[in-house]
Amino acid sequence: MFDQLARRVERAVGSMWAFFVACFVVLIWAATGPLFSWSDTWQLVINTGTTIVTFLMVFLIQATQSRDTIAIHAKLDELIRVGEARNELILAEEASQEDLERMRAEIQQEAR
């Protein structure tokens, strides 16, 4: 259920309409500045709102990106499995930094 919600929110907030709504909110907030005498409370409203939205979006973006990464790895693993590539690359995301650098150097050497 969370994955479906995260995907829907991701698509919605990634749209041009979400950008326009955000710009509209900022313009309304800025336009009300003189009405509230540019007070600390007036500034606190936008700061609190953006902080809350940012905090929640970090988790949402991480969840959707993790899902995308898993899907991409599954697709690449299947291509490696059925193709001519070395099967040791299937678990490359689990390898150490040194092993990844070694594999990359080997692949570059073979490409030359």
Condensed to tens digits (0 to 9), the pLDDT of residues 60-105 reads 999 888 888 888 888 888 888 888 777 777 888 888 889 888 888 8
Q: How much is the pTM?
A: 0.64
Q: What is the DSSP string of 3-51?
A: HHHHHHHHHHHTSHHHHHHHHHHHHHHHHTTTTTTT-HHHHHHHHHHHH
> Comparing 53 with 92, which gets the higher pLDDT?
53
